[in-house]
Amino acid sequence: MVAESAVQTQQRLEAARMGLLLYRNNVGACEDKTGRLIRYGLANDSAEQNRHIKSSDLIGMTTVVVTSDMIGRRVAVFTAAECKRSDWQFSQADERACAQLRFHEIVRAAGGFAGFVQKPGDLLANVLRW
């Protein structure tokens, strides 16, 4: 079994070899020294939103060359990869994974790339697909 942190390192190295820009997306909340709650990370405007939608571990962009009327123009397509340990399996009973899947569905519906990754090759197989 490969731990999630090791999977994340593998994925970031693979992304770099492919020329992708992927950055760590830390999500959470803490109090500042005045006691004010500070929320950080994507899709974390409120505790309720964070229960329903959980943004991915790695966020970035994939460069795509557009065809037809925009021939030769490069565009950045939003890309999100959720890292899981190598022996993880999706389950509808896993509320966290379902919230992560909802984020993937939102990204894909808008034309981006998103998916779960557990091993080398998953960026191409599970994320970078139309």
What tens digit of pLDDT does each residue of 81-94 get? 999 999 999 999 99
> What phi and psi, each to the nearest 5 degrees, are found at residue 18?
-90, -5
Q: What is the pTM of this model?
A: 0.90
pLDDT at 77: 94
What backbone torsions phi and psi does residue 58 show, to the nearest 5 degrees?
-120, 130
- Say which DSSP state 125 is in: I
What radius of gyration do the chain's Cα atoms show? Answer: 16
pLDDT in tens, 89-110: 999 999 999 999 999 999 999 9
Going through the chain in order, the beta strands assigned E by DSSP cover 21-24, 28-31, 37-40, 58-65, 74-83, 113-117
Residue 25's domain spans which residues?
4-127
Residue 64, Cα to own-chain centre: how many angstroms? Answer: 18
CATH of the domain at 19: 3.40.1350
* pLDDT at residue 75 is higher than 80: yes
CA 111 vs. chain centroid, Å, equals 14
pLDDT at 44: 96
| Position 33 pLDDT exceeds 80 | yes
pLDDT tens for 47-72 read 999 999 999 999 999 988 887 787 77
13 alpha-carbon distance from chain centroid: 15
How many domains does the chain divide into?
Answer: 1
Using one digit for the tens of pLDDT, what is the confidence trace for 5-27? 999 999 999 999 998 989 999 99
- Complete edge-to-edge strand list for the sheet that includes strand 113-117: 21-24, 58-65, 74-83, 113-117
